[in-house]
Every structure is written in structure tokens, then in C-alpha cells.
Amino acid sequence: MSSESNENKLFLPPPYCKTPAKFDDVFEEDVQLSKLDVLDPAKVLQLCENLTDRTTKQLEVKVNKFLKSVSESSTVFLINLLNVSEEAVVQVVMDKILDSGIIIPLSEEAISNIVEYKDHSLKCADNLDPKIQGLIDEIVPKESTVTIIPVLAMERRAKKPEKPIVCPVYLVCFVNSAKSKTFISKLVDESFKYFLTLLLNTRECEEERRLKKQCQSLLSVARKLFSHLGDLSDLLKEIMSEARRLTNAERCSLFLLDPDHMHLVAKVFDGVSPAEKRTEVRIAKDQGIAGHVAATGQILNIKNAYKHPLFYKGMDEATGFHTRNILCFPIRDEDNIVGVAQLCNKIDGHFDYFDEQVANAFSIYCGISIMHSLVYKRIQDAQARSKLSNELMMYHMKVSDQDVADVITCPCNHDEPNFSKFTFTPRKIIYKETPCYVLKMFEDLKFMEYFRIKEETLIRFILYVKRGYRDLPYHNWLHAFCVAHFAYLCLKNFKLVENGYISKLEALAYFVSSLCHDIDHRGTTNSFQQQSNSVLASLYSSEGSVMERHHLSQTICTLNTEGCNFLDSLNRQDYIKCLDLIKDMILATDLATHYNIHSRQLAMAEEGYDKTNPEHRYYLCSLLMTCADLSDQTKDWSETKRVAQLIYSEFFAQGDLEKKMGKEPANMMDREKASIPDHQLEFLKECCICIFKILAMTFPSANILVDAISRNIICWEASKTIFNKLCVEDKTSYEVLVSDELEQEIQAILKNICI
């Protein structure tokens, strides 16, 4: 049949619908019986008064009774033709409401082919769809005459509402009627004018209620998806029992594909008596209905299990359960079928189109849950592994009680002269004694008594921090020690606490931050982390200051290591405040942070430091951190030169690494290209001088630091000629830096300046 003739049929106007003008005469011609010949207005009126029910079933009973009486039939029933779900449904036969409706699936094509317009009247097709014929045979006794009259209506759920189409919505079946087909046809045409709209509206209303309930249940399940994250089997159980409830199934089960991919293993049995539960149900992946669904990925709606070729009776025989019908659907994760869910025995009939829709939604829910819990498990595993390796590492670098005792009983004096002067160079402290000096500074700053710090705990903390630093040329424990020493110098010389610039707690945080600010530095910059996609970058790059965030995290970890939390005698409020300050101060050591707030720091110094202004306090603390971090540059020339050697061997190592990775390093990191005096001069002039000048605006005694940097600038300027000379002789910048010539030359110049 061509699609055009098919379409024509659909556009046939039903007699009770507003019809296009050109059809009007067709119907006028065809009138053989008048309205009054078939309908008694009083009866119709009485019926209409009575059609007050809320359900289509109850309405159908009354309509059937009316039609039976008028048509003098033995039985009348309606076949509902549902265009949306593509089903034919009988839910009432005469005045008997069926427990479970008789539902048969019909294709859209089949539905549109039911009706023909022939001999100027609307009829059922001569060869009625065999499925519908079967449905009628199921209800009507043999040897009966059945007159079937179609009822058409505008399709309300048309895909294009602006182009409505007319389609059959009912087949009215009259059994053994005493009236002629013409009479019955006229009766249907005329009477449905009065109640078709009511029937259809009620049908639609029922449908909406069902959809609403379905949506609500799906929503409530969706909420649960997040509540059982930790336990997948719990969650799946919850989901499946909801699916069972929603589709009115007697039981449901869920099978997941075994990792061997050869078996489906039952994970959930809901609606099964406990006695029936066996240890494990396992089926071959290509066996039976579940296997078929797993293989094809197609939902299977089986109305009669025992008639289905794939149905395996063995399970029923083993369990004593009788399977009538089955709705079996696949469960997918991102791209694969990972399992199969099965709903058995719809309590009042067959699984229908709507059950299939529910199944579809639940299939998606299960898939999401499985995926979520896999991700969740992976995260938990990773966390556990990291905790384990952390514990292992901590065990191997455990600071022993003996190490702590050795610091307490250290026989050395620790009274270097000028230790608390800006001119003191902490790099000359004997390495072994650095922890003792840190302890000494803690004591000297009166932190021990003020915060009731336990000496043993503090020493253990210091020793763990020391171990936290790697063996790098520059960013090692000695750098931390120097920065902490400079913090100590500021606290003492500027009398930061005594003069109320900062609080005692801020002072403590400043000192601790200085000591910890580079823990576990890897000798590479923030941009290197991002370039190389390092683990640290993946953890922190979205927030910036990648390394600094890691140093902070390491600091907190160290503090939380057993026997290390020397801050635990602080009250809760101070403790939280202290960690907050430490966070701010460690993050302030990222020079990018410094450049961010540099102009506001300058403005603060220009307008005068206001200790009651919290922003000023933050800017001052940040400035103090930056100064401490760069304090190597405020020492004498030989220190500056030594530090430059350390820094450039670290920078060049990163440059070498970048070259190996096929990237081009920045000039400063490239041992072939870098001009050390130029980079140092730029760093001192553009960065250091400015920072220390801001400091000196608030603390005039810091001018000696600015002067020291200026002297170093002169030396670097002077060194340029030697660098230029020796570089021509094919020496690298670094070779010149460590050469004797440079040392001699600058010493000579310095002697001249000092005299």
C-alpha cells in the first residue's frame, strides 16, 4: 500500500468531527437514517447526566450498557486504540471490569490500517488485523456475529500540533446485535458525539496521573542515587525494588556481567523469599532471555514466558516459582552493556509500553550508579593507597626519640655572636646545629612559654620539617633555616610584637611559616609543574600557586604527624586562626602573589601602617614573608655569589630537564643562554630593591638591607666585564660565576669601595 493512500485514509473526516467543506456533501448524500431513528434524546440525556465517573473503566461500563440496550446486542465492549503506546487495550467487557486489561501491541501502521472509508461510510478494513481479530476471539464466544465500528478523533498528541491528524481511537464491538450494520454505524456516529470527548479527556487524565506518579517515583529514585554511594549492591537493590514497585511486578532481579565476561551473575533478588535465595546464581552470558538481552542490548517484553523459545524452565522448576511474563532490559555503563535487569510477573496483566519506559529510565539509573560507585571506589582506593604509602614513608623517615633527645642534650653553646643582627649570615651556622638554633629562636622569641609549647613536641616537629626538605642545591633545609632566621631578625629588630605591628599569634605563624614555606620543594617552578602535567599541578593548578599549596599541605601533614603538633596547646579559636595565618603567609611566598598585592603594599607603606586595619596586617605579613624569602640578597657579596651558584645550578637543572622533555627552557634556566649577571641585576633592581624599600618605609632601620642590596648591585655591574671577557673564551656563565678570576676581581673592587 502506498504511503499516499495511507495518508488519505488518516485524513478521512469522522462524521462527528468538524469536517472540511468538501466532505460535507459526501456525508449528506449518505444519510439513510436520521438521528432520531437511532437515538432517543431522553435516553442520551439520561446517560450524559450519569457520566460522572473519574475513571475510563467506569465510564465504559455505562457506555456499554447504553449501546447494548439501544443496539439490542448480547454484549458491547470498546477496544481502546492507544496511538502513543501503540497498543490495543480492552479493559471492560460489557459491565465487567477486567482485573488485568487485555493488551496487544500494534504498530502505528497497523492502527492506521484498521479503518477504511468505503461506500461512503467509515468501516473496519475487510481483513481486520489478525492481532485484533485474535483479541476479539479471546472475548467473544464462537459462532457470534460481531459488528465492529471504528471511532475516529483528532490525534491530541500529534508530533506536529499545528498539523493535526485524525486517527482511530476506539473500536466499538457489538456482539449478536439485532440491528442492522447501518443502524449500528449511525448509532455510534451519533452517540459518540456526546461522550467521546469525555472518554478521551478522562483517558488523557488517567494517562497524566500515571505519568505524574512515574515522574515522582523516578525523581525519588534519582535522589537515592547519591545516598548509597559507598555500597553499590545496596543502591542497586534500592533501585530495583523501586522498579518492581513502579511496574507492579512480583519480583525483579539484576545480573551483572562477570569480569570474565563469560557469565551474568545475579546481584539483586527482590521479591524473592529468603528460603529461595541461593548462594550465587550464574548464567552463561549467551544463555536464555537475560543472555539474549545482554547480547543484543534490546529490551524484551515477553507476554508468555513458557511460549518463548529462549525461556529456561529449569529455574522455575528449581525454585517452584511460576513465571508468567518477563520484562528484561539491559544495563549500560558509558559504552558497554554491563548487566541485565529482569522484572517478572506483572501483578495484574502484562508489562506494557509504560513499563518499558520505566525500565528504560531504571536502566539509565543503574548505569549511572554503577559508574558512580566505580569512580567512588577508585577514589577511595587511591586514597587508601596514598595513605598507606604515606605511612610507609613516614615510618622510614620517622624521627626517633633519640634524635629528639640529641637536640635537647646537645652540648654546644649555640651562642654565635651577632646572631640577632641583620648582618649575620645564617649559612655559616654548622649544619648539624641548625635544629638547635631553630629551638633557640623559638625560646628567644618567648613562644615556648607564651603558647605553652612542649619542647619535645617542637623539636620533633622541627626535625620532621628538616626531613621534609629535599637535597637540592638551593631549596633545601638551609634555605628554610635562613628564611626563619630572617623572620627572627625582623621580629627582634623591628620589635614587631612589642610595638603592636602584629600579634603574638601572627608572629608565631610568621616564624613557623618561614621554616615550612618550601617543604618538599622539587627544585622546579610552578610553571614547570603545569608544563609537565605533574601530580601537583593536577591537584592544585586550578587555584594557582601550585608549589606553595603543596608546601602548605606538607606543613599541615607534618603538624598532624604523631607527636609533632606543638600547637595543640592553643585554644581552638587560636589554633584555627594560626593555621589560617600560616596558609596566607606560605601562599604569600609565591612571587606571583607578591606582584598581585605589590601596589597595595606600597600604598599601605605610603599612607602609613595602620595596625587596626586587617588588610594592612595581611599586607605587612605578606611583605615580611617575601623579604625573608629573598633575604639572601641582603647579605654580603660572597653570600650573594654563593646563593647565585646554588640558585642557578637548580635553575639549569630544570632547564636541562625541559630540554630532555623537548621543551625550550626560559633563557634564565638555559645554561647555554643565561647571562647570570644580567638576570641577577634584573632580579635585584626590579624585584628585591623595591620590596625592601617598602619595608624600609615602615621600618627605617631596614635601610641597611636596601643598602646591602645596592652594594650587591654594584658588584654585579662590575662583574659584567669579567663575564663578558671570559664568556668570549667559550666559558659558560656558570663557569665564570665559580671561577677564581671573578672572585679576585670583585674582592679588589670591594677593597676600593670600603676604603
> Which positions touch ligand 7OP (CB under 6 A)?
591, 630, 632-633, 643-644, 647, 679-680, 682-683, 687
629 touches Zn ion (CB under 5 A): yes
Q: Return the range that interacts with Zn ion (CB under 5 A); candidates 492-500, 624-632, 707-715, 725-733.
A: 624-632
CA distance 751 to 385: 60
In contact, 750 and 744? CB cutoff 8 Å: no
Question: Could you tell which of Zn ion, ligand 7OP, none binds residue 682, using a CB distance below 5 to 8 A set by kind?
Answer: ligand 7OP
In contact, 379 and 387? CB cutoff 8 Å: no
584 touches Zn ion (CB under 5 A): no
Nearest one of 105, 345, 369 to 223, comparing CA atoms = 369
Question: Could you tell which of ligand 7OP, Zn ion, none binds residue 482, using a CB distance below 5 to 8 A set by kind?
Answer: none
In contact, 308 and 302? CB cutoff 8 Å: yes
Question: Could you tell which of Zn ion, ligand 7OP, none binds residue 643, using a CB distance below 5 to 8 A set by kind?
Answer: ligand 7OP
518 touches Zn ion (CB under 5 A): yes
CA distance 164 to 407: 92
- 96 — phi, psi (to 5°)? -100, 120
CB of 393 to ligand 7OP, least distance (A): 25
CB of 627 to Zn ion, least distance (A): 11
Which is nearer to Zn ion, 362 or 648 (by Cβ)? 648
What is the size of the binding site for Zn ion (CB under 5 A)?
2
- 268 — phi, psi (to 5°)? -130, 130
Which is nearer to ligand 7OP, 557 or 687 (by Cβ)? 687
CB of 507 to ligand 7OP, least distance (A): 23
In a 3-state reduction of DSSP, which class is residue 435? helix
Strand pairing class (75-82; 337-346) = unpaired
CB of 589 to Zn ion, least distance (A): 6
Q: How many residues can be counted in the chain? A: 755
Which is nearer to ligand 7OP, 671 or 679 (by Cβ)? 679
Which is nearer to Zn ion, 237 or 466 (by Cβ)? 466
CA distance 715 to 692: 18
Question: Could you tell which of ligand 7OP, Zn ion, none binds residue 630, using a CB distance below 5 to 8 A set by kind?
Answer: ligand 7OP
CB of 425 to ligand 7OP, least distance (A): 13
Question: Could you tell which of Zn ion, ligand 7OP, none binds residue 472, using a CB distance below 5 to 8 A set by kind?
Answer: none
For ligand 7OP, which residue has the nearest CB? 683
Which is nearer to ligand 7OP, 305 or 684 (by Cβ)? 684
In contact, 644 and 737? CB cutoff 8 Å: yes
Give the number of other CB atoms < 10 A from CB of residue 14.
Answer: 23
520 touches Zn ion (CB under 5 A): no
CB of 521 to ligand 7OP, least distance (A): 8
Give the number of other CB atoms < 10 A from CB of residue 200.
Answer: 17
548 touches Zn ion (CB under 5 A): no
CA distance 672 to 656: 10
Question: Could you tell which of ligand 7OP, Zn ion, none binds residue 683, using a CB distance below 5 to 8 A set by kind?
Answer: ligand 7OP
Catalytic-residue membership of 475: yes
632 touches Zn ion (CB under 5 A): no
Q: Return the range that interacts with Zn ion (CB under 5 A); candidates 165-173, 286-294, 430-438, 629-637.
A: 629-637
CB of 499 to ligand 7OP, least distance (A): 27
Q: Return the range that interacts with Zn ion (CB under 5 A); candidates 47-55, 112-120, 625-633, 667-675.
A: 625-633
Which is nearer to ligand 7OP, 341 or 676 (by Cβ)? 676
Question: Could you tell which of ligand 7OP, Zn ion, none binds residue 632, using a CB distance below 5 to 8 A set by kind?
Answer: ligand 7OP
Using only C-alpha atoms, the chain has a radius of gyration, in whole angstroms, of 44
CB of 482 to Zn ion, least distance (A): 9
In a 3-state reduction of DSSP, which class is residue 375? helix
- 737 — phi, psi (to 5°)? -55, -40
In contact, 361 and 328? CB cutoff 8 Å: no
CA distance 612 to 609: 9
Catalytic residue among 475, 550, 551, 616: 475
CA distance 380 to 400: 31
Question: Could you tell which of ligand 7OP, Zn ion, none binds residue 554, using a CB distance below 5 to 8 A set by kind?
Answer: none
Q: The dihedral of CA 506, 510, 516, 522: what is its sign?
A: positive
Which is nearer to ligand 7OP, 90 or 646 (by Cβ)? 646
Tell me the HSE value of 352 on the side-chain side, using a 13 A CA sphere. 20
Q: Could you tell me the CA-to-CA distances from 331 to 229, 255, 323, 364 in Å, in that order?
A: 18, 9, 22, 7
Question: Could you tell which of ligand 7OP, Zn ion, none binds residue 247, using a CB distance below 5 to 8 A set by kind?
Answer: none
CB of 587 to Zn ion, least distance (A): 12
Residue 93's region, left for phi above 0, alpha for psi from -120 to 50, else beta, is beta
CA distance 366 to 339: 9
* Catalytic residue set: 475
Residue ranges that bind Zn ion, judged by CB under 5 A:
518, 629
